[in-house]
Structure 1
Amino acid sequence: MLKPTVILVLTFTIIGYIFCSRNYLTKPTFRKTSGYHTFILSAAWGIGLWLVSALLFGLTTLVFFLLSWESGLIAPLLTHFIQVIFPNLYVPLYAIHSFQISIIALFLALKGPSIILHFVAKMTGESEDNVANAVYYSLSATDDTPEFTQITTRSMTVGLPIAFTLSNSKVYIGYPTEIAFHMNDIMILPLKSGYRCENEQRLELVTDYVPVWDDIREELSASQEEEVDLDLDRFLINIPVREIVHANLHDFHYRKNFEKYERPKKKSYIPENTVDVELEIQHNSGEEEPTT
C-alpha cells in the first residue's frame, strides 16, 4: 500500500506539472526541461500552489466557523460517501481536509493562468490577447523561448509581415496570426509566396494572394447581391518551426529600392569552345540539301 507521503508528493508533482504547462510565464522554460529537472520544477510549483490552497481552505473554514457551521459543507459529504462505499474503512479528518486542499490546488493549476490573465487585463484595460502577447514579447529575447519567437513578436509590434524561407526553398510572406500551444508551429496569413532560386538564392515571387481574395470577394458579393466579408481563416498556412531556415521582416514598399542596387542575374556559363549541337545539325542539314 502506498504511504501517505508518497501520495502527497505525487499530488504535488501532478499539480505543478499542470500549472507549469499552462502558465504563460513558466511554459517556455518548462517545456525545455527533462528528467529530474522537470520533477523538481513541478514539485516546487505544486508545493507552492498547495500552500496557497491551504491558506484559502483555512480562510473558508474560518468563515464557516464564524457562521456556526464548524463541520463545513464538503467534509461531511465526503465522510458519508466514504462510509457508504467502504464501511470498515476509517479515514481521519486530516485526510479529508488534505483531499479538499488538493482539489482547490488542482483547480488553481487548471484555471489559475486564465484567471490571472483576465485579472491583469481588467487592471490594465487591455484585451487578454494583448496581455498574452506582451508576456510573449517580454520572453522573446531570452533563451527560454523557441526559435523565431522574437521576430514573430516584433512583426506584431511594428505591423510588418515576415518572409519565411523553408528548407525546400519555398518562401511565404505574411503575418503570423497564432503560435501553437506547444510553440512547434506558426500559423500565418500569406500575402505573397514564391521561392529562392537554386544558384543565387534570389527571391522570386510567384503568387499574390491579395488580388485572389478581392476576386473571390467580388464573386461572392455579386452572387448574393450584397457585400460579403471574406473569411481569411480559410487561407491560413501552418508552418512547422523545424522547417524554417530563415525569417526576416519584409516591407514591400522598399522592394524596388533594393532591386535598384542588386547585381543582375548571372547568366548560365557556356565555355567558349562549346558548340550548340542542335544549331550545328540544322546548319549541316541545310548545307547538304540534295541538288536536282
Structure 2
Amino acid sequence: MSNSPLLPQRLASVLPRVVASLLLCLSLVALPQSVSAHGLPDGLVERGVQVIMRPEGMELSYRIGLNDPTLAGELERLQLGEDLDLATIAEDKATPETMQQAWKAYQERLEEIIPGQLTVTIQGEPIQLKWVRTSAGRDHHARLKIYYQADWKNELAGQVYEGKEFTIPFTLKDDSFRDAPGYHRIAFKGIGDIMVTESNTKPIVLRTPRILESELTEEEREEARNIVAKFYLEPEPVESWWQQFAASKYMSHGSVLLLLVGMAWVVMAGISHKKQQEGSSDTSET
C-alpha cells in the first residue's frame, strides 16, 4: 500500500515511451499502404513527353506507365490478345512468362504507332521521328520509355540561320491516348547552343504538375498535350587568325616549337639591337 502513490508517477514516466512505440509500429504497418498508393489505379495511363533540342539533332522521349489490369484492356483495344490470356492478366494472376510476352507485344506496337500520333513541326515544316531505343522498368507499375530522334537541320534543308534575330518556332501536337483517362505531361528543353526564348512548358517533364486530364477543361487539356515554343541558335564565337592557324592541320608540335624559337630569336635580336644603339649613343656623347 505504501507504494501506491508512486504508481501514477511511474505511469506518467512510461506512458510517453509506450505512445511513441505504438506510433512507430503503426507507421511501419502503414508504410506498405502509403507506398502502394503511388501506383496507378485500374484504367489510368500515365504519359509524359520530353523534347530536348540540340544543334546536332532533336531527341524525344515518350514515357508511359500503367498497371497490369490496364495493360489487358490496352492489349484488347489494340487487338494484341489473340495468343494471350487477358483474363489472367486483368486479375493479376498471369505467369511471368505471360506478362513478358504481353509487354513485349505492347511495346513493339507502341514503337510503331506513337510517331504517327505525334505531329512535330520546326519552322512550320513537319519533322519525321525515328525510333532509337526503348527502356522498360517497374516500380509500383510497369513503365516504358521510348526514344525517338530527328535530324531537324537536314530536314529543313539549310533554312536555319544563327543569331537571336532568327527565332525558330517549334510545335508538338500529341494525339496519343485521346480516349484513355490518366495523366499527361510535356516538357521542352534546349541544350548547348539552343537558346529557348518562349515555351508553354517547363524544361523538365518530371517538374511538370501531375494532374488528371479529367479534372481539366477542354482548353487546359489541349494545352497540356501541345508544345508551343521558340528558340534560336547561338552563333559560334569567331576565332582570330591566330586561333584558326593554331588549330589548323599544319600546326604540328614541331611547327609550334620552331615558331616559338623564331619568336624568341626575334625578341633577343631586338634587345641586342637596342643595346647596340644605346652603346653608340653613349660613345658619341663622350
Q: Which entry has the higher C-alpha Rg, 1 or 2? A: 2
TM-score range, shorter-chain basis? under 0.3
What is the TM-score when the length of structure 1 is the normalising length?
Answer: 0.25
Compare the two structures and name the one with the higher helix fraction.
Answer: 1
Q: What TM-score does the superposition give when structure 2 sets the normalisation length?
A: 0.26
Larger RCO of the pair (alpha carbons < 8 Å, separation 6+): 2
